[in-house]
Amino acid sequence: MALRFFNTYSRTLEEFQPLDPEGKIVKMYTCGPTVYSRAHIGNFRAYIFEDLLQRHLEARGFNVNRVMNLTDVDDKTIRGSRAENLPLADFTAPFKEAFFQDLGTLEIKSPNEFPAATEDRYIAAMIAMISILIERGLAYQADDKSVYYRINRFPNYGHLAHFDLAELRSTGRVKSDEYDKEHVGDFALWKAWDEEDGDVAWESPWGRGRPGWHIECSAMATSLLGEQLDIHCGGVDNIFPHHEAEIAQSEGCSGKAPFVRYWLHCAHLLVEGEKMSKSLGNFLTLPDLLAKGYTGREVRFALLRVHYRAPLNFTWEGLAEARQALSRIDEWLRRLRETARLTSSPNESIERDNFAAALDDDLNISAALGELFEQLRVSNRELDESMKPERALAWLQWWEKINRVLALETSEEKVPPEIEQLVEKRKQARQARDWQRSDELRDNLRDLGWDVRDTKDGQVVTRRAGA
């Protein structure tokens, strides 16, 4: 089956075909975090979905050039820096750092570029774009000195979100500048400096000020990837106004459409059935989960296993399920490796491609995982009936291909000497058929965070999940 994705723009499944004439390079832009606080697991659901997308494209032979921006200037970052009495850059730096750290913990591939909005070259690019928009009559400076996009002059405005301009109404969520704007829906490209901005300001042809939110993504995306992109992702809440504005700005400047060939949006995350919010006390960050003993891969699996367009209900029970499923994979790999140890010559291979085929269908991760677990059972059965080392090696190679996409494998933890000693003692007790002593030592080991099991080949010691 051909690779296809659900394009928000057309609201249909479309076969994927990159712009690159060779059909090789994929230009992908993903909206990154606003660095005013630690990113929460809802944010990471989106980034993990994007990671899965990138990895699967790579598995299918594409060369993905991915950009993820960092929004390091906006109302919230400015507010935060003032509250802490820090220069803006000093306020945002630790959040950038924390973000990179979390990406690492979750095995999210680093994008090729991490442009930040405040970098000189992008501020310059934004100013250049705004100038062009003004020249073309697509933007204007209002009485409040800010520059706004004139949405009435961009006929396509509203297409992505399926919004009718006449029906846009203010939710009052944002300070209303309606008196200065020609249309309520006109959005800021350049915000004139005001007192609350403190020393956060750049010079521009329209006076001191700072960029509006939307323009940064247009500027960074087109600077790094060109005027037209293959894929642009984000959470569904970004469809409007953010991505709608990006289309208006980018196409308004380049005159080329479409700005983006495939828009992919991921649904939100709920926590225990409720929206995550600080007031509900269910606002979770990665360190919160790590502190409870969960690992990055367990969180990754819990966030990965639901299709990206379906809402994902994050629960503690779900994390426990993830842990259980992963330890099954670990045990399976341990057995395969043990069997494969006796050979190094792969002379057969497992030709089953259903995993990747499932992902071809708009990243159907559930079907893909279904296939993985089905084959896991098949191969476990083969192991039970004594498997040849070459066969085990073939299964391991099958897994490696899959794991390049899932990124769920951890390096095995070495058994420390003191644990080895207890295991040795237990071995002796068992040889003496001293079951009481044997069970005692097993309990000791468990308390120390190690599981020990008896198999026909002797004791098997593994690290306890969550220990």
Partner RNA sequence: GGCGGGGUAGCCAAGUGGUAAGGUCGGGGUCUGCAAAACCUCUAUUCGCGGGUUCGAUUCCCGCCCCCGCCUCCA
Residue in the block written with tokens 């970098």? 119
Nearer to RNA, 19 or 461 (CB): 461
What gap in Å lies between CA 324 and CA 262, rounded to an integer? 36
The DSSP element (H or E) to which 297 belongs, if any, is: helix 296-304
Residue choice 151, 260, 319, 340 for contact with RNA (CB under 7 A): 151
**Footprint of RNA on residues 340-379 (CB under 7 A)?**
361, 364, 366-367, 369-370, 373-374, 376-377
CB 149 within 8 A of CB 139: yes
Residue choice 86, 270, 350, 461 for contact with RNA (CB under 7 A): 270
What values do phi and psi take at 321, rounded to 5? -60, -45
**Footprint of RNA on residues 422-451 (CB under 7 A)?**
430, 435, 438-439, 451
Residue choice 82, 153, 268, 427 for contact with RNA (CB under 7 A): 268
Interface stretch with RNA, choices 68-76, 194-202, 388-396, 415-423 (CB under 7 A): 68-76
CB 322 within 8 A of CB 302: yes
Interface stretch with RNA, choices 181-189, 221-229, 342-350, 405-413 (CB under 7 A): 181-189
Interface stretch with RNA, choices 96-104, 120-128, 268-276, 344-352 (CB under 7 A): 268-276
Q: Is residue 111 involved in binding RNA (CB under 7 A)?
A: no
What gap in Å lies between CA 354 and CA 367, rounded to an integer? 9
Q: Half-sphere exposure of 415 toward its Cβ, with a 13 Å CA cutoff?
A: 17
Nearer to RNA, 167 or 195 (CB): 167
Give the interface size with RNA as a residue count (CB under 7 A): 95
Q: Which two tokens stand for residue 370?
A: 């279904």
- How far from the centroid of its chain's Cα atoms is residue 381's Cα? 35
Question: Could you tell me the smallest distance in angstroms from the CB atom of residue 23 to RNA?
Answer: 25
CB 387 within 8 A of CB 339: yes
**Footprint of RNA on residues 298-337 (CB under 7 A)?**
305-307, 309-313, 315, 317-318, 320-321, 324-325, 328, 331-332
**Footprint of RNA on residues 87-106 (CB under 7 A)?**
none
Question: Could you tell me the smallest distance in angstroms from the CB atom of residue 223 to RNA?
Answer: 19
From residue 258, how far is each of 19, 76, 229, 248, 250 by CA, in Å? Answer: 11, 31, 8, 10, 9
Q: Whose CA is closest to 415, among 423, 406, 407, 426?
A: 423
Q: Is residue 454 involved in binding RNA (CB under 7 A)?
A: yes
From residue 130, how far is each of 38, 215, 276, 432 by CA, in Å? Answer: 31, 8, 36, 83
**Footprint of RNA on residues 213-242 (CB under 7 A)?**
213, 234-242
User: How would you classify the pairing of strands 4-7 and 12-15?
Assistant: antiparallel
Nearer to RNA, 55 or 214 (CB): 214
Question: Could you tell me the smallest distance in angstroms from the CB atom of residue 398 to RNA?
Answer: 15
Interface stretch with RNA, choices 27-35, 132-140, 247-255, 336-344 (CB under 7 A): 27-35
